Amino acid sequence: RAEGDSHRPRFHFVSPAGWLNDPNGLSHWNGVYHLFYQYNPLKAVHSRIHWGHATSPDLVTWTDAPVALVPGDDADAADADGCWSGVLVNDNGVPTLIYSGRRDEQELPCVAVGSKDLTEWVVDAANPVISAPPAALELTAFRDHCVWPHPGGGWRQLIGSGIRGQGGTALLYESPDLRNWSYLGPLIVGDSGDRDTTADDWTGTMWECVDLFRLEAAGGDHEPVDPDVLVFSAWDDGVTRHTLYLTGRYSGTRFERTALHRLDYGGRYFYAPQSTLDARGRRVMFGWLQEGRSDAAAEAAGWSGVMSLPRLVSRSPDGTLYQEPVPELETLRREHVRLDGFVLTRGDRRAGLLPGDQFDIVADLHLEPGSESELVVRATDDGAERTVIRLSRPDDPDADVTLELVRTASSLDATVDATSRSGPIRHVDGQIHLRVLADHSALEIFANGQPLACRVYPTRADALGVEFVGIRGRVHVKEAASWLMADIWDAPRRLWPER
């Protein structure tokens, strides 16, 4: 970390320097968590993308491993212009990467095999292993991979794509050996043309980073109605929009959808997620927290992109996803305060939680119908900078609570994104379990298991204040606690770890 870089996170994973985007090859292999990521070690811009690699025993602290994939030297190499997103699978004990090799502005599926410790990778001489997208379709793009062993033997793969005039899609393939693939058809096609293209749940003209998984029913052994989840990042002609998921049922060749949902209310700020099942049977997900500052500002800082904290993804009783930070992160908690319950009415202000730019706050609130309150963080004394986390409950007791992140005064720097983010929060009788993790420019909020990840760039060194504010009605803060969080990046890091 450059001295004085107040935006660089200290308990999130960040690349040693340069550019980071999607999580790739996520896995828990022989007791070690592996996080690969889209990486340009040379500059904080998205150009010839490598695969960075780091390992962790606990999802908390990370050790840099040698860069895993480097774009091919030879201009004819299938990945001469970049090694784009993909996954790691266990091919009968052989660690195997399936990724998108980029050349001449086109991506095609490639394979690489790894050493036992996953640090040395050899690309397959036959790359690309699929030489062209299905010819019968007019596709908007063809990249990113979700690969799993087929119960009947062999492998299945989804490749993100879009059919012109129809919408985003995930194309299904099968293979006996990860090298020879047969096209089976689209698993499901979006409906982008029929939807409001400005909506928070617009499905885009292409689906990036598709991730299909099955979740067990919450706390029961009955057969869940919608056991399957298809996550995708809706993309439109070079613009990253937001990440969505479909719940439904995967039948082998089709995905019968039940409902479409937003994955994270931060929109583009939690993008291209990937998940894996760890040895404890937990579904762990990471996403890319992209920048809200200008490209020039990121380049000047020498780094761009933050990996989200690892999230546990489970099923809530209504069938949607419940997301929360992995409990292991609590080992980073240090100085602590706890506030006893209090009530907020209009104009009330309540300080007492620890000021800081690197903290974890937990609060249990009860919002009466027609009430609203704010948790203000990263605030200067004069209020010139302040980031507002607002919860409001309509008069109608059956209506959802709204979570809103207001960034209009988050930064005095007029060049950073200051747009607000919001979404509905399910609740029982106005009860909200709120969690806020702030780590310099990274901010991750969870309300009743619904996340809102974002970035904020306060400029003033004293933008550290934290307080609750009553806006209207009665909000009971039943209990609130905060912890300052430890650094995970004590040791100096090398930009390009040698093999």
236 is annotated as an active-site residue: no
Q: In the complex, what is the shortest distance from the CB of residue 264 to ligand DQQ, in angstroms, rounded to a whole number?
A: 14
- Measured from the CB atom, the residue of 95 and 160 that comes closer to ligand DQQ is 160
Residues 6+ apart with CB under 8 A from 152: none
Radius of gyration of the chain (CA): 22
> Residue 237: left if φ>0, alpha if ψ -120 to 50, beta else—which one?
left
Q: In the complex, what is the shortest distance from the CB of residue 100 to ligand DQQ, in angstroms, rounded to a whole number?
A: 5
Q: In the complex, what is the shortest distance from the CB of residue 143 to ligand DQQ, in angstroms, rounded to a whole number?
A: 5
Cβ–Cβ under 8 Å, residues 322 and 316: yes
- Measured from the CB atom, the residue of 16 and 86 that comes closer to ligand DQQ is 86
Q: In the complex, what is the shortest distance from the CB of residue 185 to ligand DQQ, in angstroms, rounded to a whole number?
A: 21
Residues 6+ apart with CB under 8 A from 83: 49, 50, 51, 69, 70, 71, 99, 100, 101, 102, 110
Q: How many CB atoms lie within 10 A of CB 214?
A: 13
Phi, psi of 296, deg, nearest 5: -65, -40
* Cα–Cα dist 270/233, whole Å: 9
**What does the CA dihedral 401, 407, 408, 414 come to, rounded to 10 degrees?**
-160
Cα 70 to its chain centre, rounded Å, is 24
Q: In the complex, what is the shortest distance from the CB of residue 84 to ligand DQQ, in angstroms, rounded to a whole number?
A: 3
- Measured from the CB atom, the residue of 208 and 439 that comes closer to ligand DQQ is 208
Cβ–Cβ under 8 Å, residues 67 and 39: yes
Tell which residue, 341, 314, 332, 452, has the closest CA to residue 391: 452
Residue 76: enclosing H or E segment and its boundaries? none
- Measured from the CB atom, the residue of 98 and 187 that comes closer to ligand DQQ is 98
- Measured from the CB atom, the residue of 102 and 311 that comes closer to ligand DQQ is 102
Token pair, residue 479, equals 């209990």
- Measured from the CB atom, the residue of 100 and 169 that comes closer to ligand DQQ is 100
Q: What are the residues binding ligand DQQ (CB under 6 A)?
A: 21-22, 38, 49, 84-85, 100, 143-144, 208-209, 240, 271-272
The catalytic residue among 22, 144, 228, 360 is: 22
Q: In the complex, what is the shortest distance from the CB of residue 133 to ligand DQQ, in angstroms, rounded to a whole number?
A: 14
> Which residues are tagged catalytic?
22
